[in-house]
């Protein structure tokens, strides 16, 4: 059993850290992203609309971003894919490597 607590400050910090780490590992510049975020995030969780998209835009310099809200996101945990709630899943695209 694992208990979870929805915490806006912790979720914001985790998103920022995850995006920064992912960007640092890219073999080139981030050229775009797809974002799939829970419909329970945003205004309901953070008090503002588009929190996740705005944070990604801030951290990655306004790259093209598309996606949608979902009622569950698929992502890995402990090496296996699982259905999550109140999460955000993102795919980054890399510019042509030089």
List pLDDT tens digits, range 51-86: 999 999 999 998 999 999 999 888 888 999 999 889
Q: Hey, what's the torsion of the CAs at 2, 89, 56, 65, to 10 degrees?
A: -170
pLDDT for 82-98, tens place per residue? 998 899 999 999 987 65
């Amino acid at each position: 059993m694992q208990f979870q607590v929805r915490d806006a400050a912790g979720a914001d910090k985790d998103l920022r850290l995850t995006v920064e780490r992912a960007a640092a590992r890219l073999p080139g510049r981030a050229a775009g992203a797809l974002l799939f975020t829970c419909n329970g995030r945003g205004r309901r969780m953070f008090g503002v609309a588009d929190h996740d998209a705005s944070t990604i835009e801030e951290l990655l310099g306004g790259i093209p971003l598309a996606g949608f809200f979902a009622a569950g996101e698929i992502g890995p945990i402990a090496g296996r894919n699982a259905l999550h709630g109140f999460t955000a899943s993102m795919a980054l695209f890399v510019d042509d490597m030089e």
